[in-house]
A and B are shown apart, each in its own frame.
Chain A
Amino acid sequence: MALSPRVATPSSEFRHTMQNLLSAYFPIAVFIVIAAGVSAAMLGGSLLAGRQKPYAEKNSAYECGFDAFDDARRRFDVRFYLVAILFIIFDLEVAFLFPWAISLGRIGLFGFWSMLGFLGVLTVGFIYEWRKGALDWE
């Protein structure tokens, strides 16, 4: 099959590693199946067991007897965006820390300082956003 996940014929060693890798995720697969089953049972159960008699008034939004003023989904302040994007940036920074922490024993002092340089650059960014007041809300 042309579109198989691996294009070249894998060595037996590779296949062996793959089997190990996937079997390590077996508990997670079981977990996902159970979670999916439970949530499907909850939603499906209420769908089957409850009496469904919808009509227009019942489905409309109830707002203290008034007609609805506007859409229930309110627009967010743009400041949420700033917080979210700063979070992503630091999230990515943290992502770089995982392989570093694992391989620190092998990469030695050079690897250590290399990461400190990286963190230093982002610390400058942190100082910048702190002083700019990007972390203050009101």
Chain B
Amino acid sequence: MTVPFNWSLALPEIVLSVCGLLILVIGVFQRKNASGLLCTGLAVAAFVATAVLVLGAPSGVGYRGTFVSDDFARFAKLLALTGAALSVILSLDYNGRQKVDRFEFPVLILFSTVGTMLMASSENLMTLYVGLELQSLAIYILCAFARDEVTSSEAGLKYFVLGSLASGLLLYGISLVYGFAGTMEYGGLRAALSDNAPVPAGLVIGIVFVFVGLAFKLSAAPFHMWTPDVYQGAPTSVTAFMAGAPKVAAFALLLRIMAGPFGHLAPQWQMLVELVAICTMILGALAAIPQTNIKRLMAYSSIGHMGYAMIGVAVGTEAGVRGTLVYLATYLFMTVGVFACIMAMRRNGRPLDRISDLSGLSRTHPLLALTMGIFMFSMAGVPPFSGFFGKLMVFAAAVQSGLWTLAVIGVVTSMIGLYYYWRVVKVMYFDAPEPAFDRGARPVGAVAGAMGLVTALFLLVLGPVTGAAQAAAAVLFR
């Protein structure tokens, strides 16, 4: 009872949750057929207010060692809030046209973001688990949100069943860690494991299980199987959300526990993380080649990106963590942008998702084609777009630590990746044009354009982003 409780540390989370409750009540007292506009607007306002609070939040450990607020958590939370706000804005038009614009949509995204923020601030394995469940449960529901479509229900069910399995593995790992180390607090774990005494095998197995559970959420190979089906089946507005913020949070968690409490055991798990990173990069590059559906292509592309970002985890140094954080920031903006472009693909009121539907886009919608092209080149890692800097920092960290294999495989798979990204650009610029798309909504265009600008001109903000990532990474290695 001597440790201060530090109520105010979780103020952003509390404010966001209360906003969620209020929006739910407001939504349910609306007229039956009211559109989701009011609730969406309120949700965006709540995200902005929370982001302001996050920026001003004090640092420290609170709630009897279950919650921590530091630069690392703030970095991840800001990314998560940005991703959530952007995808809520994007969803408005798409859901309206798909006739699924119910007010629960922004509310669920909001609660999922609360879970994401809890994960980023976890200082205890229980916080990790509860945050992860809150986030995942909302996403399972969102995947099946278009409940009258078979693909959406299938996506929701698939993700739910496999996600529960992953949660089970995670819990099993957590209980093993607790059983052998006698504590679930990161600080206590770090202290208990810092002695040079031999580490019990059960503890290592527990760590592996925790890693597997998180790798599943990250869709790292070989736990990626659900990703293409779920990305394709879920409504695009949901895919845009789940490809961004939750991935960032899961990575933040992975970085925090691997570098923090389990940091002293790096020799034990480093090999495994390297292996998973290599598998993920190769699979993401090769499996994307035969895809004809743009949402599936993006699924494999996101698997590949998770592999690159995991290099930073495998390296396990401050430079590696910084690289991963910068990578995630660039990835978030690219992904939201790409999905904004995909949402603009619609002909005669029906959404399209084949790559061939993009044929000749440069003549029918030159601006859209240009934006999409920027994202494709950025994802491939072509300078001077943002994706290049993320890759550069991660590879540099690997080389610094002497992990040449990782860096070389990363460069090779990036080359392969360039091929399939280039294919999309080729279809847009050199194929015979298809009929024009429907008139797009203004917010979607605005988001796509803004993300395109961020991606293209990332060089201008590289300094501040790297600085913030550096400060965040430094927290883990104090």
Whether A124 and B29, one on each chain, are in contact in the complex, defined by CB atoms closer than 8 angstroms, is: no
Alpha-carbon gap, A127 to B22, bound state (A): 11
Residue of B nearest to A120 (CB): B21
A131 at the interface (CB under 8 A from B): yes
Whether A121 and B21, one on each chain, are in contact in the complex, defined by CB atoms closer than 8 angstroms, is: yes
A75 at the interface (CB under 8 A from B): no
Interface residue ranges of A104-138 to B (CB < 8 Å): 121, 124, 127-128, 131-132
Interface string of B1-39 (1 = CB under 8 A from A): 000000000000000010001001100110000000000
* Chain B residues whose CB sits within 8 angstroms of the CB of A132 once the complex forms: 28
The A interface is mostly helix, strand or loop, or mixed, namely: helix
Alpha-carbon gap, A118 to B94, bound state (A): 34
Residue of B nearest to A132 (CB): B28
The B interface is mostly helix, strand or loop, or mixed, namely: helix
- Categorize the interface residue count of chain B: under 10
A133 to chain B, nearest CB (A): 10
* Chain B residues whose CB sits within 8 angstroms of the CB of A131 once the complex forms: 28-29
B214 to chain A, nearest CB (A): 26
Alpha-carbon gap, A136 to B24, bound state (A): 20
Alpha-carbon gap, A127 to B17, bound state (A): 16
Alpha-carbon gap, A131 to B21, bound state (A): 14
Residue of B nearest to A129 (CB): B28
Alpha-carbon gap, A30 to B24, bound state (A): 51
Q: Interface centre among A127, A128, A132, by most B CB within 10 Å?
A: A128
Interface size on A, residues (CB 8 A): 6
* Chain A residues whose CB sits within 8 angstroms of the CB of B17 once the complex forms: 121
B3 to chain A, nearest CB (A): 15
Alpha-carbon gap, A121 to B29, bound state (A): 17
Alpha-carbon gap, A128 to B22, bound state (A): 11
Q: Interface centre among B17, B25, B28, by most A CB within 10 Å?
A: B28
B264 to chain A, nearest CB (A): 24
Interface string of A6-35 (1 = CB under 8 A from B): 000000000000000000000000000000
* Chain B residues whose CB sits within 8 angstroms of the CB of A128 once the complex forms: 24-25, 28
A134 to chain B, nearest CB (A): 11
* Chain B residues whose CB sits within 8 angstroms of the CB of A121 once the complex forms: 17, 21
Residue of A nearest to B30 (CB): A131
Alpha-carbon gap, A131 to B30, bound state (A): 10
A65 to chain B, nearest CB (A): 42
Alpha-carbon gap, A131 to B17, bound state (A): 20
Alpha-carbon gap, A131 to B104, bound state (A): 13
Interface residue ranges of B23-77 to A (CB < 8 Å): 24-25, 28-29
Alpha-carbon gap, A76 to B106, bound state (A): 32
Residue of B nearest to A121 (CB): B21
A75 to chain B, nearest CB (A): 18
Alpha-carbon gap, A13 to B286, bound state (A): 61
* Chain A residues whose CB sits within 8 angstroms of the CB of B24 once the complex forms: 124, 128
Alpha-carbon gap, A64 to B428, bound state (A): 69
Interface residue ranges of B437-468 to A (CB < 8 Å): none
Residue of A nearest to B21 (CB): A124
B203 to chain A, nearest CB (A): 14
Alpha-carbon gap, A131 to B29, bound state (A): 7
Alpha-carbon gap, A13 to B367, bound state (A): 76
B76 to chain A, nearest CB (A): 25
* Chain B residues whose CB sits within 8 angstroms of the CB of A124 once the complex forms: 21, 24-25
Alpha-carbon gap, A66 to B25, bound state (A): 54
Alpha-carbon gap, A124 to B27, bound state (A): 12
Interface string of A53-68 (1 = CB under 8 A from B): 0000000000000000
Residue of B nearest to A124 (CB): B21
Alpha-carbon gap, A21 to B17, bound state (A): 41
Alpha-carbon gap, A18 to B128, bound state (A): 33
Alpha-carbon gap, A132 to B27, bound state (A): 10
* Chain B residues whose CB sits within 8 angstroms of the CB of A127 once the complex forms: 25, 28
B477 to chain A, nearest CB (A): 35
Alpha-carbon gap, A131 to B34, bound state (A): 14
* Chain A residues whose CB sits within 8 angstroms of the CB of B28 once the complex forms: 127-128, 131-132
Residue of B nearest to A130 (CB): B28
* Chain A residues whose CB sits within 8 angstroms of the CB of B29 once the complex forms: 131
Interface string of B381-397 (1 = CB under 8 A from A): 00000000000000000
Residue of B nearest to A110 (CB): B5
A92 to chain B, nearest CB (A): 13
Residue of A nearest to B22 (CB): A124
Alpha-carbon gap, A124 to B25, bound state (A): 7
Alpha-carbon gap, A124 to B24, bound state (A): 8
B181 to chain A, nearest CB (A): 14
B174 to chain A, nearest CB (A): 17
* Chain A residues whose CB sits within 8 angstroms of the CB of B21 once the complex forms: 121, 124
Alpha-carbon gap, A127 to B29, bound state (A): 10
Interface residue ranges of A38-84 to B (CB < 8 Å): none
* Chain A residues whose CB sits within 8 angstroms of the CB of B25 once the complex forms: 124, 127-128
Alpha-carbon gap, A55 to B103, bound state (A): 60
B7 to chain A, nearest CB (A): 11
A114 to chain B, nearest CB (A): 12
Q: List 13 A-B contacts (CB under 8 A).
A: A121-B17, A121-B21, A124-B21, A124-B24, A124-B25, A127-B25, A127-B28, A128-B24, A128-B25, A128-B28, A131-B28, A131-B29, A132-B28
In the complex, besides A124-B21, A128-B24, 11 extra interface pairs with C-beta distance below 8 angstroms are A121-B17, A121-B21, A124-B24, A124-B25, A127-B25, A127-B28, A128-B25, A128-B28, A131-B28, A131-B29, A132-B28
Q: Which 10 A-B pairs have the closest CB atoms?
A: A131-B28, A124-B21, A128-B28, A128-B24, A124-B24, A124-B25, A127-B25, A132-B28, A131-B29, A121-B21
